[in-house]
A and B are shown apart, each in its own frame.
Chain A
Amino acid sequence: MASLITCPHCGQRPKEEFTIKGDASLTRPAPDAGPDVWYDYVYLRSNPKGLHKEYWHHSSGCRRWLIVERDTVTHKVHSVTDAALTKLGGAA
């Protein structure tokens, strides 16, 4: 794992400042989407061997939620963007 993460707000920071939430490819379904869709969202995972987008929280820094794209085999970090800005389609 890379020991430094480039936070879009704080710059290069040690990895220990961040808390990992997990898979960022999941989209929360509508409340009435039905049990199958909810089952898929809550339990099933793509678990890719290779590039993986994850939610990371900069919990000891700016406290923003970030999306970190990381390789699960080499642990190399490819991109870090602000989660809210990315999901809203703004400049990340």
Chain B
Amino acid sequence: MRYSALSVFLNGLRGNSGWAPAWRQPQPKPHYDVIIVGGGGHGLSTAYYLAKTFGITNVAVLEKGYLGSGNIGRNTTIIRSNYLLPGNNPFYELSMKLWEGLEQDFNFNAMVSQRGVLNLFHSDAQRDAYTRRGNAMRLHGVDAELLDRQAVQAKLPFLDFNNARFPIMGGLLQPRGGTVRHDAVAWGYARGADSHGVDIITHCEVTGIRREEGRVVGVETTKGFIGCGKLALAAAGNSTVVADMAGLRLPIESHVLQAFVSEGLKPFIDCVVTFGAGHFYVSQSDKGGLVFGGDIDGYNSYAQRGNLATVEHVAEAGVAMIPSLTRVRYLRTWGGIMDMSMDGSPIIDRTHIDNLYLNAGWCYGGFKATPASGYCYAHLIARNEPHETARQMRLDRFQRGYQMDEKGVGAQPNLH
């Protein structure tokens, strides 16, 4: 069923009795051309582009929980392409372009809102670094504007401009950045993939990878053995667990990242704004709640819940940037498991096993990358060669000395 204003109107007249489920609940077939492990944003978008763009429709997505139960529903919904490095920037800009046409493409309201992403700077050195990044973005054809203090003040007058230690000197704005309704991204891709014949099988956990003569021939699951021609991993925080089943050691640690939402407030922040003197980023949802986050807790975890010390730290950073937050109350907090790579950049690559593919290491940049990650991964699986924009996201870059260290901080996941 195609969604449109007319279909909403007509179904309203019929008491909304005419809606069909957005995707099927199929039982697994004995064999698929491609099996994707992980029914989150990246797995579902990979299935969608495999079927729609690359014409491979005999595909299954296996998800151990319910659809979109991982990080696609646990992030702070921010999209942006304000990256510095040549290996990252064109990829995230591809993602931004896909976001811009996404709702029309998969016929689902994902509430894509290009309200702008503003990174504040607080010192001369930071202004120089942001200028450099802004210039790199513009050279790659990405929009970037350097705002001085007055321009930021006109936009967000409630920030603490005269903070004794971290005065706000200006900001780097990407006007095309913004937010997207995160769950709707999972639902839209699931519905789109399903309509092209992809089987989305939820509550089906992969428990083993079966190999014959080196090649992967299928997966053992809680719903029995399922054969496959190619196996594509997109398991985010559980990447190590799945890769272990194929004897593949990864340059990844799983860490918990928390996100937060406040009680509903009247509209006062109309963009995404990030603190330059600590790790804090905030936007306001359409319901009025402030959606914000900070750093990872800093220890290995598979628990999807974090620590109060980090909750306090994030609140302190927020209040340092917006003093009026002192009286705002937290409504909810939650945690997601990040697949932290050792250089802070992702991996979309083949593995040493011919028909086993890997999509992992998104750290906490996975949400904004959802469309491009799926598109490039589908390209890799279908054609067995990397997409132009993802060709530096190789698994062997650590061994060969070609890390993509966007922040320039070294090989420690808790630094990224």
The interface size bin for chain A is 20 to 34
**Residue B300 contacts which of A43, A52, A74 (CB distance < 8 angstroms)?**
A52
Residue of A nearest to B403 (CB): A43
Question: Are B412's CB and A22's CB within 8 A?
Answer: yes
Query: A41-66 interface mask toward B, CB cutoff 8 Å, 1 = contact, 0 = none?
Result: 01111111100101000000000000
**Given A15-B309, A35-B399, A73-B302: A47 touches B411 (CB 8 Å cut-off):** no
Question: Are A16's CB and B412's CB within 8 A?
Answer: no
Q: How far is the CA of A44 from the CA of B361 in the complex (A)?
A: 12
Q: How far is the CA of A3 from the CA of B241 in the complex (A)?
A: 27
* Pair count A-B, CB < 8 A: 69
Q: CB-CB < 8 A to A72: which residues of B?
A: 254, 300-303
Task: Give the secondary structure class of A's interface.
Answer: mixed
Q: CB-CB < 8 A to A15: which residues of B?
A: 307, 309
Q: Is B298 an interface residue (CB 8 A)?
A: yes
Residue of A nearest to B412 (CB): A22
**Given A16-B309, A75-B301, A75-B303: A45 touches B252 (CB 8 Å cut-off):** yes
**Given A16-B309, A22-B414: A43 touches B398 (CB 8 Å cut-off):** yes
Q: How far is the CA of A6 from the CA of B412 in the complex (A)?
A: 26
Q: How far is the CB of A23 from chain B (nearest CB, A)?
A: 8
Q: Is A4 an interface residue (CB 8 A)?
A: no
Q: How far is the CA of A46 from the CA of B110 in the complex (A)?
A: 37
Q: Is B156 an interface residue (CB 8 A)?
A: no
Q: How far is the CB of A25 from chain B (nearest CB, A)?
A: 11
Question: Are A42's CB and B250's CB within 8 A?
Answer: no
Q: How far is the CA of A65 from the CA of B294 in the complex (A)?
A: 27
16 more A-B residue pairs beyond the given contacts A45-B240, A72-B254, with a C-beta to C-beta distance below 8 A:
A1-B299, A20-B414, A22-B413, A42-B411, A43-B399, A44-B249, A44-B250, A44-B251, A45-B251, A45-B252, A45-B342, A47-B250, A49-B302, A52-B300, A70-B299, A72-B302
A-contacting residues of B (Cβ < 8 Å)? 238, 240-241, 249-254, 297-303, 307-309, 342, 398-399, 411-414
By Cβ-Cβ distance, the 6 closest A-B pairs, closest first, are A47-B240, A43-B251, A43-B398, A44-B249, A49-B302, A20-B299
